[in-house]
Amino acid sequence: MACAAEPTSSSTPNGSPLPPVIDGRAFTLELANTGEVFEIPADRSALDVLAETYPGIPYSCRRGFCGTCKLTVVDGEADHRDGSLTAAERDAGCLLPCVSRAAGDRLVVRADLHLPSTAIPEEKR
């Protein structure tokens, strides 16, 4: 089972303030499809950090409800902090980077299925 992002009418934020990261730990996030490595600070979400490099990455609620930002974990253990993934989705490696984090020091995710070409800066295509 692949972790397909839920369809959404918009990939832009809804304008509400970002929820704070509670009890966050810094970790390293690697994109398996590009090999890029991102350091995720304890006080920021993985989605936040990814959106700096990939401003077109799909997201909507930023609170772990909609599933728009869903990625697939290929290595490492996730600390699921969302309220919407089913046990089957979690077992399949789905992760919502807007709220969930790595349970350890490193997490490798596959994001290529969820980044439309318009989300990838030209120099990285």
Domain membership of residue 3 (yes or no) is no
Beta-carbon contacts of 11 under 8 Å, excluding residues fewer than 6 positions away, are 56, 57, 58, 59, 60, 68
pTM of the complete model: 0.77
Domain membership of residue 7 (yes or no) is no
Domain membership of residue 42 (yes or no) is yes
Domain membership of residue 5 (yes or no) is no
Tens digit of each residue's pLDDT (9 = 90 or more) over 15-64: 566 677 778 899 999 999 889 999 999 999 999 999 998 888 888 888 88
Domain membership of residue 20 (yes or no) is no
Domain membership of residue 1 (yes or no) is no
42 is written with which tokens?
């304890």
Residue 45 is part of a domain; what is its CATH number?
3.10.20.30
For the cut 80, the answer to whether the pLDDT of residue 112 exceeds it is no
Query: Domain tally for the chain?
Result: 1
